[in-house]
Amino acid sequence: MKVIEVEGKTVEDAKRRAAEELGLNADSVDDNLVEIIDEGKSGIFGFGVSRPAKIRVTYNADIKDVGANVKTVLNEILTRMGVKYIINEFHEGESKVYVEFESDDSGLIIGKKGRNLEAIQFIVNVIVSQQTSTEKKIILDIEGYRAKRERAIKKVSFEAAKKVMRTGKPVVLEPMNPFERRLVHLSLQNHDKVETKSEGMGIYRKVKILPKNVSE
């Protein structure tokens, strides 16, 4: 349990300052946590005696707001990157948190083959997990990129399978992250002519598509 007293020009300003001091999203400092000590007083037309508003905030650090934490961490990363963004969709379920946003700098955020977006998502997952002890998977998406990427990967998978059938030789796809490799495996798992396997080291391993029942 942590109790702090904060002053501001207004009660809302004091709440914002309290959120910054506690490392919380401003929306997390709601009226249930706040005791107004003094609503403050402003001078008339900028003259006369004025005094700041003062609040007392009681925050239980053991109660972690995962959703607010995700927004705070994401905002910190994107702000440091120097980009502006708007969150269009935010869902927090029992096992995952989904955030879809847009930005004029979407190309920078996505990066080549989505690697910047994957890196940002990885960092957000690590930090939020450490700060809240949550096991929820945090998924970041920007302007529907992930759906477009999934369609592209499925198309590449089927085209590679056709090439394997035509030539009888294995085809190795570009390096992919675990989610994308799994998508390739699932797309071709019921194919009667080819099979898939992952190879290589590290996060960005490759998927090899080869004729069924052919040992190398």
List, in order of start, the domains of the chain with CATH numbers. 2-59 (no CATH), 66-143 (3.30.300.20), 147-211 (3.30.1370.50)
CA distances in angstroms from 56 to 9, 37, 60, 75, listed in the order given: 15, 7, 13, 26
Mean pLDDT within 104-133: 92
Confidence of residue 203 (pLDDT cuts 50, 70, 90): confident
As a whole number, mean pLDDT of residues 19-28 equals 69
Alpha-carbon Rg of the chain, whole angstroms? 25
Percent of the chain with pLDDT over 90: 53
User: For strand 137-142 and strand 194-199, is the pairing parallel, antiparallel, or unpaired?
Assistant: unpaired
What is the pTM (predicted TM-score) of this model? 0.62
Q: Name residues whose C-beta falls within 8 Å of residue 179's C-beta, 6 or more positions apart in sequence.
A: none
| Residue-level pLDDT at 204 | 78
**What average pLDDT score do residues 101-130 get?**
94
Confidence of residue 153 (pLDDT cuts 50, 70, 90): very high
Q: Which residues of 13-52 are buried (b: 16+ CB within 10 A; e: fewer)?
A: bbbebbbeebebbbebbeeebbeeeeebeeeeeeeeeeeb
Q: Where are the beta strands (DSSP E) in 114-164?
A: 137-142
69 alpha-carbon distance from chain centroid: 10
Q: For the segment 44-97, what is each residue's pLDDT rounded down to a tens digit?
A: 555 555 788 888 887 665 556 788 889 989 999 999 999 999 999 999 888 999
Q: Which residues pair with 96 in a beta bridge?
A: 137
